[in-house]
Each structure stands twice: as structure tokens, then as C-alpha cells.
Structure 1
Amino acid sequence: MRVAVLVLLLSISRGSLSQDKLNMCMDAKHHKVKPGPEGKLYLQCAPWRDNACCTANTSVEAHDDNSYLYNFNWNHCGGMSPKCKKHFVQDTCFYECSPHLGPWIQAVDQSWRKERILNVPLCMEDCHEWWEDCKDEVTCKANWHKGWDWSSGINQCPKGSKCRKWTDVYPTPKSMCEQIWSQSYLYTTHSKTSGRCMQLWFTGPNPNTKVAEYYINGARRQSSFSVASLLLLATSSLSALI
């Protein structure tokens, strides 16, 4: 009995540690089943062309207002400036194309996707630059994931809401990054050179690979410690029974 329990615990441990979350795609509306090369990714999605969870068609649509991806209207409170909109395009490319979001993928029960990201640690520069370039915009909602009026087929401000200054809705970069997509992102004070935060956009080799590795290895170390503690407890309990 003692041996059987130990074997079971070890098999559970190996199973949990063997899950490869470093190179995977979410189970969501437009994601590929597996990541791979996409040599024709469009404009701001191009950095992921060597290994992507998005297709070339998805990358093109990510740049269009009211694209078929989600029928989402960036201009719900008037025209959004190009300098602000570029960050939302980068955000869309990151979400659709990145193969290194595994450590932060969570299961959800939603009609348009079965998985989402939660608390992805963003580099401080990305949040600050995004907020700075959008601070003169207006919006009617803090959380853009839900609560819209979709009666026209595209998102419109819900009844009773008012378009307000961006800085009134999001007084800090942290509030914007964490609230706008229902905690998909986590604001950090890590810089892009730290290796501890994800970059929404980059040039050259994908720096997010090593960041994902860092968090995966941390989770594995914690899992190994937990399993070791559980094995010790099980061994002590079985010894007392024998």
C-alpha cells in the first residue's frame, strides 16, 4: 500500500511537470491549434512571424477598425488617435500571435473562447507608453471586456454611460493596464531588460521566450517542493499505520 501511494504521487508529479506551457496556443476564437511559422504576418504583428499562434489573415484584421475578429469599435467615443490606436493593435497582435502565454492561460466558460490569459506581467515601459499615448483620448468604460451595448452588431457605450477623459477613467498606467481587459495584464515595475516581464512588441528575437521560461521554472520548483512535502507527509502517515 505504501509503495502504491508513493508511485501514484510520483506519477502525478511527473504529469504536472511534463506539461509544456512554453510553446502553446490558447483555445480561443481565432488562435491556431499549434504555433508555427507565419512568414506573411502583417505590419505590427510581423515580429511573431517565426513562431505564431495567429494566421496572416488574423494579423491583417488586427489592424482594421471594426474588423471581423470581434467587431470591436475603438472609436466608441469619437475617433481614436493613431498614436493611441497603435498600442491596441500591438495588444491585439500580442494576444492573438504570442506562443509564450502558457503560464498565464486559464480555462473559462465563454461562448467565444475556452481559455483566456490572466495577470500576464507587463513591462513597466509598455504600460507607461500605452497610457501616455492615450491620455488625451475619451472612453465610457473602464473594463472593455464586458458591459457594452451590442444591439447594433458592434460595441457601443451602454445606456446611461458618459464619455469621459481617459485620465479620469484611468488615472494611472497601472489602472489602465489592469482594468481595461479584466486583469488580463498585471502592471509591474520590471523593465524590458529584466527578463521578468512580457513585452507587447519587440524587434529581433522574441524576448518573451525567456520570460515564460523563468515563470515556468519557478512554477516547477514550487510544484516539486509541494510534491516533496506531500510525499514526506504521506510517508510519515503510512509509517504510523504500519
Structure 2
Amino acid sequence: MQMLLAFTTLALLATVTCHHHLRCLQGKYHKPSASAEPDMKECRLYSAASCCYANFTEKLTPSPMVKIDNYYWNKCGNLSARCESYLKQLECFYQCSPHAAHWMHPNSSESMQDVPLCQSFCDSWLEACSNDLTCVYKWLTDWTIDEDGNHCRNACIPFKEMYKNGTDLCQNAWEDSFKVSNTTGRCLMLTEKDEVVVNTMTDEEEPSSQGEKPMPAETGKEEDS
């Protein structure tokens, strides 16, 4: 069993390396480039090529989650276990995935933009958090922030009242970090299957050296000497 796990890890790392996904976002906890982190406490999906250090994942081990640094998750009470698991998946992807930088925000190297999440993931996320409470629509900007952390400006209401549907949740909670996609094989579920999806998308975006056409010759007149 241990040999099988080791082989799987090496195979994943080789695939990631082959497709040049080792670049990381440039946030507070991001590494310069992805590398193996075998001692991760959470986010183990990315242990073969992680953009976060193993000690960061210790911040995600408590349940119920209270806070990461000075950012509180429980301003409207503790989240249910199902809801919390989705938030941890998203946090793990942002902090640790070697693929997140594929969607680096053009105006902020520590942020993502338009990561394509599958519609089914977004719908399941809202279902899991349906009866949990939140006081913000946009989780990055709608808080009052001071030296004591983030504070609600408005009353706490259920997720199902804050967001119309899964699309609304995915495309607004993290600002423009995520977008919803209905295209099979072109969206992420934040599981091990994402590796194949990202590899396919990257291959399609890279120009083929064999299929490149020669540059057209210049047709202008030469200047007189």
C-alpha cells in the first residue's frame, strides 16, 4: 500500500512538472514554486506539488474553524461540518494548488481570476451551506476590518437567502476569483480529477512548435543607401 501511494505521488509530480504548473501565486503563504510537502495536515490533494508549506495547513485542522490569522470564519456562529469542508477545499486550492496560478489575476499576483468551477460543485456548495449563516455577500470586501479582525456590517442570514443559487455564490463570494462553467472537461471540482482537466486546457493553450507557420517576409522597399 505504501509503495502504491509513493508511486502515485511520483506520477502526479511528474505530470505536474511536465506541464510546467510549478508557478505559484504570490500571496502571504505561497511558496516561490511548487514542491512536495509530504507532512501536510490538510490539503493533502496537493502534497505532491504544493504551493503552500506543510505548516500552513495546520491552520486548517481545527473543526469547527474559528479563524485563519485575524480573519474569523465564525462571525455568525460555527459553520456546519459540510459547509466548512467546502470552504476548506477552496482555501486549499487558493493556498496550495500548483494550478491556481494558471488563473493569476492580471492586476494582482496574489489573487486569482475566473477559475472555472463546475456548476455541480457550486450547487453542492450552496446546498451544503444552505442553512449556515453569513453576514456578507462578498467575503473579501464586505467586512468592516480593524486590528481585531473582520466584523459584520449587516445581520446574519442563511446562505440560501444571501445567494440566489450556486452560480451566485461561486461568482460573488470570492469576488471575481471563480466563474461557473457547464462545459464537461473544462471545469474544476477541486478533486484529483482536476489534474487531467488543467493539463488538457494548458495543452490547448500552448502553441504547437510543429504547427507554427513561418513569419511572413517583409514586403516594404529597402531604403536607398
> TM-score normalized by structure 1?
0.73
Q: Which has the higher helix share?
A: 1
Match of 1:10 in 2: none
How far apart are residue 228 of structure 1 and its match? 5.8
Alignment RMSD (CA, Å): 2.6
Of 126, 129, 142, which aligns to 1:134?
Answer: 129
Shift of residue 103, structure 1, vs aligned partner = 2.4
Within 5 Å, which residues of 2 pair with 1:146-185?
146-158=141-153, 161-185=154-178
Q: Unpaired runs of 5+ in structure 2?
A: 1-18
Aligned partner of residue 176 in structure 1, secondary structure = helix
- Identity across aligned pairs (percent)? 25
Is the partner of 1:239 in helix, strand or coil? coil
TM superposition shift of 1:79: 2.4
Runs of 4+ more than 6 Å apart: none
Q: Distance in 1 between matches of 2:110 and 2:213?
A: 30
- Aligned pair count? 201
Distance 1:88 1:63 in 2: 12
Matches within 5 A, 1:48-127: 48-64=46-62, 65-68=66-69, 71-109=70-108, 114-127=109-122
Hey, what's the Cα distance between the residues in 1 that align with 2:160 and 2:30?
Answer: 33
- Greater relative contact order: 1 or 2 (C-alpha under 8 angstroms, separation 6 or more)? 1
Query: Does the 8 Å contact 2:113/2:178 carry over to 1?
Result: yes
> For residue 38 of structure 1, what is the aligned residue in structure 2?
37
Aligned to 1:27: 26
Q: Any conservation in 1 of the 2:67–2:74 contact (CA below 8 Å)? A: no
8 A Cα contact 1:107 1:115, kept in partner: no
What is the TM-score of this pair, normalised by structure 2?
0.79
- Residues 160-180 of structure 1 show CA distances to partners (whole Å, capped at 9, x for unaligned) of x22223122211100101100
Q: Residue in 2 aligned with 1:16?
A: none
CA distance, structure 2, for counterparts of residue 66 and residue 95 of structure 1: 16
